[in-house]
Amino acid sequence: MKPSRRNIRKLGRSKPSREPRQRFILFCEGKNTEVEYFNAIDRACTSASISVEPRGGEGVPYTIAEKAVEYAKALRWGQRNSYEERDQVWAVFDRDDHPHFNEAVAYCESNKVGVGRSNPCIELWLILHERDFDRYEDRHDMQKKLAELRPEYDPDRAKTPDCDDLVKRVDAAERRSKTQLWRRAEEDNPHGNPSTTVGQLTREIREANARAARPDNPR
């Protein structure tokens, strides 16, 4: 018995599908500002999944790098499906006055772990949401500058800026940080002050969110 024309049309049509939510596992040096910021990104990017592992108090960037690489290796060994294969592990840490900063970056990169590093500190990345900034400053001066732009921010009292408001301008921060990185590269000082690669991480998250939220074309 031949299938009816109606059934042929039905069989030839497939429903649009969506990509599974891509996971981003972040190992962060800080336990306040970084956590609040990436939780705000998670709320804004509902089709991507962000897990923040705060490691505040555990010390230097190299410690964060080791934790992230250890987790990434365990994740790869335990892969069972394409969803896990698309997971990304990132280490997020500051230059500040920490030792072995360059070694931490290199260790992550050699083990295919993303690096969201800031020189001198994460506050630089937050400032770039509000304005361009390309002047050498230490961590304390950078925090003062952020407090001028965001009066609710007070690092001495562990008060974070309104990150839900900041992430509304994350695309501008990404553009500014990219320009900043070009300038440091031209100076042959890619890790120099000021510079941050956190924008590369937020761009990855936002692109993954857009892919998962958009139905694929029907086959």
Instruction: Provide the pLDDT for residue 79.
Output: 60
DSSP assignment letter at 21: P
Q: With beta carbons less than 8 A apart as the criterion, state whether 94 and 119 touch.
A: yes
SS3 (DSSP) at 74: helix
Give the residue ranges of the chain where pLDDT is below 50: 1, 3-14, 16, 83, 217-219
**Residues 172-190: pLDDT tens digits?**
999 999 999 999 999 999 9
The residues that bridge with 92 in the sheet, in sequence order, are 28, 116
Please, what's the b/e burial string for 57-68 (b: 16 or more CB within 10 A of its CB; e: otherwise)? eeebbbbbbbbb
Instruction: Provide the pLDDT for residue 164.
Output: 98
Phi-psi region of 137 (alpha: psi -120 to 50; beta: other; left: phi over 0): beta
Domain ranges of the chain: 20-212
Q: Return phi, psi of residue 46, to 5°.
A: -75, -10
Whose tokens are 């609040």? That residue is: 36
Question: Distance between CA 198 and CA 53 in Å, rounded?
Answer: 16
Rounded to whole angstroms, what are the CA distances from 191 to 79, 115, 119? 33, 12, 7
Question: Distance between CA 160 and CA 32 in Å, rounded?
Answer: 7
Instruction: Provide the pLDDT for residue 81.
Output: 54
Question: Distance between CA 36 and CA 98 in Å, rounded?
Answer: 23
